[in-house]
């Protein structure tokens, strides 16, 4: 079954063809019809299954008719990377529609955002903190808003975004269509989601089980030998595209440096990088300049790179949901991938939880020829005790972005406006917007 039954406008169909989409994914197949009918939807499906197009295509279809130069659709996302990914999907799928999409997030100059909002970009993709600032200062006027999307809803609600989201909701028209999409949705968080939905259609596509296209393996090792074991594993992966997760940004930085010093084409993506450094790291990994990207959970949100072949957990994640999100970066779009996790004795309880989630025991592997009895060298990424709860300040939407913000017309005649590379993100911007938060 292709996209024909949805009767998309030829301008949108052209965007679908340009991206090589031949048939809808399960989440698209089951959610697009109720969205096109104007229903509220709670969509639960794994990362990499096509959730973005599932809401982007119906929104583009809706916005083709009706007024222009007013904001009619708002998408909330937890990080700048994800906001840019969604923005790019709207731009590519709607290239022939003339509809404009604008990204709004912190860490960049607010001037272009204010200009885009006042010009009435039809679609706004935003992180909550900066959008709330624009609301409070009068730059964002949502009185004509028709559709609200909350993407990565579990993280939006579970990692400190709920207060800002609630404040934003108070400014939005009560009569609107609301869509929530997420890879995971614990029961208590689902209750919060239903507060903003009216008689929603719930679409679930194996959302509690990591992708079947991913194979899993555990590599037991003592903490002090992790770096050495990782180096040996990377020798076996060859020139594959490898995403490595660490628990903290400091460990990500140290591990990436160690791998680089050992001759690997490695870089890192973590919260201490400047805007241009984040952009260079992500684009370098996507374009093949780097075949290894070391990242933290928060900084990696929104990474959508289909050629990732391996995800390696250098540190065990804190929750089963985090494991699901991490390994969802490989095996995307029906491709296969491998998920390796380096585990210590301290990780045994989490291993059991993950195996319960998977419904199967994960294979334990020992690398032939590796000296597991060797005296541990001082690791490049020092051990760090797992925090009990990540602080909300580490999850503020917009501290973890990859690209500069700016309006983009989905039609071919538009030319984007961005902040100057290398400039102070807030420098030179004065007046009543000068204190906008860097979210």
Neighbour count for residue 346 (Cβ, 10 Å): 12
pLDDT at 387: 45
**Per-residue model confidence (pLDDT) at position 199:** 92
Domain 214-386 belongs to what architecture?
3-Layer(aba) Sandwich (3.40)
Q: Determine the average pLDDT of the residues in 8-30.
A: 94
For position 401, what pLDDT does the model report?
A: 38
Each residue's pLDDT tens digit, 63-120: 999 999 999 999 999 888 889 989 999 999 999 999 999 999 998 899 999 999 999 9
What is the fold, at CATH topology level, of the domain defined by 4-208+395-433? Rossmann fold (3.40.50)
HSE-CB of 177 using CA atoms within 13 angstroms: 20
Nearest Cα residue to 107 out of 71, 81, 76, 87? 81
Domain locations along the chain: 4-208+395-433, 214-386
Cβ partners under 8 Å of residue 3, min gap 6: 13, 16, 21, 23, 24, 57
pLDDT higher than threshold 90 for residue 326: no
> 171, 142 in Cβ contact below 8 A?
yes
Residue pLDDT, tens place only, 241-263? 999 999 999 999 999 999 999 99
- Share of residues in the chain with pLDDT > 70 (%): 77
**Domains 4-208+395-433 and 214-386 fall in the same CATH topology:** yes
The pTM score is: 0.67
**Averaging pLDDT over each range in 113-127, 143-157, 193-207, 329-343, which range is the top one?**
113-127
3-state secondary structure the chain: CCCHHHCCCHHHHHHHHHCCCCCCCHHHHHHHHHHHCCCCEEEEECCCCCHHHHHHHHHHHHHCCCCCCCCCEEEECCCHHHHHHHHHHHHHHCCCCCCEEEEECCCCCCHHHHHHHHCCCCEEEECHHHHHHHHHCCCCCCCCCCEEEEECHHHHHHCCCHHHHHHHHHHCCCCCEEEEEECCCCHHHHHHHHHCCCCCEEEEECCCCCCCCEEEEEEECCHHHHHHHHHHHHHHHCCCCEEEECCCHHHHHHHHHHHHHCCCCEEEECCCCCHHHHHHHHHHHHHCCCCEEEECCCCCCCCCCCCCCEEEECCCCCCHHHHHHHHCCCCHHHCCEEEEEEECHHHHHHHHHHHHHHCCCCEECCCCCCCCCCCCCCCCCCCCCCCCCCCHHHHCCCCCCCCCCCEEECCCCCCCCCCCCCCCCCCCCCHHHCCCCCC
51 class by beta-carbon count within 10 Å (0-12 exposed, 13-18 middle, 19+ buried): buried
Please state, for a pLDDT cut of 90, what percent of the chain lies above it. 53
Q: What is the mean pLDDT of residues 336-347?
A: 91
Chain segment 163-207, per-residue pLDDT in tens:
898 899 999 999 999 999 877 776 656 777 778 899 999 998 865
Between 334 and 298, residue with greater pLDDT: 298
Cα dihedral sign, 276-280-286-292: negative
Output the pLDDT for position 419. 34
pLDDT score for 438: 44
Task: Categorize the per-residue pLDDT at 276 as very low, low, confident or very high, splitting at 50, 70 and 90.
Answer: confident
Give me Rg for the CA atoms of the chain. Answer: 22
pLDDT at 409: 52
Read off the pLDDT band of 211 (50, 70, 90): low
Average pLDDT of the chain is 82
What pLDDT was estimated at residue 408?
Answer: 52
pLDDT of residue 393: 39
Of residues 75 and 273, more confidence is placed in 75
pLDDT of the residue at 439? 44
**Mean pLDDT score, 129-148:** 96
Residue 148 has pLDDT above 90, yes or no: yes
For the stretch 400-430, pLDDT in tens is 433 434 455 554 333 333 333 333 333 333 3
**pLDDT greater at residue 393 or residue 208:** 208
pLDDT in tens, 366-387: 999 999 988 876 544 444 444 4
- The pLDDT, as a whole number, for residue 430 is 34
Mean pLDDT, residues 232-236 taken together: 93
The pLDDT, as a whole number, for residue 336 is 66
pLDDT confidence band for 155 (50 / 70 / 90): confident
């Amino acid at each position: 079954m292709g996209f024909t039954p949805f009767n998309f406008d030829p301008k949108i169909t052209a965007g679908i063809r340009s991206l090589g989409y031949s048939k809808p994914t399960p989440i698209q197949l089951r959610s697009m019809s109720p969205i096109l009918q104007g229903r509220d939807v709670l969509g639960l499906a794994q990362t990499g299954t096509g959730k973005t197009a599932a809401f982007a295509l119906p929104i583009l279809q809706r916005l083709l008719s009706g007024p222009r130069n007013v904001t009619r659709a708002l998408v909330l996302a937890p990080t700048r990377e994800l906001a840019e990914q969604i923005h790019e999907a709207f731009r590519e799928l709607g290239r022939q529609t003339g509809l404009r999409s604008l990204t709004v997030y912190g860490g960049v100059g607010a001037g272009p955002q204010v200009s885009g909002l006042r010009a009435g970009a039809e679609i706004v993709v935003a992180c909550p903190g900066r959008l709330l600032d624009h609301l409070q200062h009068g730059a964002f006027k949502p009185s004509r808003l028709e559709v609200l999307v909350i993407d990565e809803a579990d993280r939006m609600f579970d990692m400190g975004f709920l207060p800002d989201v609630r404040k934003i909701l108070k400014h939005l028209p009560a009569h609107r269509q609301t869509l929530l999409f997420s890879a995971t949705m614990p029961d208590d968080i689902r209750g919060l989601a239903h507060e903003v939905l009216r008689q929603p259609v719930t679409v679930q596509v194996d959302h509690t089980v990591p992708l079947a296209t991913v194979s899993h393996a555990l590599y037991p090792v003592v903490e002090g030998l992790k770096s050495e074991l990782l180096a040996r594993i990377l020798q076996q992966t060859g020139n594959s595209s490898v995403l490595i997760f660490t628990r903290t940004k400091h460990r990500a930085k140290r591990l990436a440096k160690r791998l680089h010093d050992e001759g690997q084409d490695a870089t890192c993506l973590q919260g201490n990088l400047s805007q241009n450094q984040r952009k260079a790291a992500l684009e370098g990994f996507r374009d093949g300049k780097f075949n290894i990207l070391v990242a933290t959970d928060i900084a990696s949100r929104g990474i959508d790179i289909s050629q990732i072949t391996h995800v390696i957990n250098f540190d065990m994640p804190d929750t089963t949901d985090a494991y699901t999100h991490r390994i969802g970066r490989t095996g995307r779009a029906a491709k296969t991938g491998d998920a390796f996790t380096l585990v210590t004795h301290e990780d045994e309880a989490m291993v059991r939880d993950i195996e319960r989630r998977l419904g199967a025991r994960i294979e334990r592997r020992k690398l032939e020829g590796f000296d597991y009895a060797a005296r541990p060298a001082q690791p490049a990424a020092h051990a760090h005790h797992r925090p009990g709860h990540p602080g909300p300040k580490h999850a503020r939407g917009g501290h973890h972005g990859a690209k500069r913000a700016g309006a983009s017309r989905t039609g071919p005649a538009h030319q984007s406006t961005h902040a100057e590379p290398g400039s102070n993100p807030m420098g030179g911007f004065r007046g009543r917007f000068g204190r906008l938060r860097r979210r």
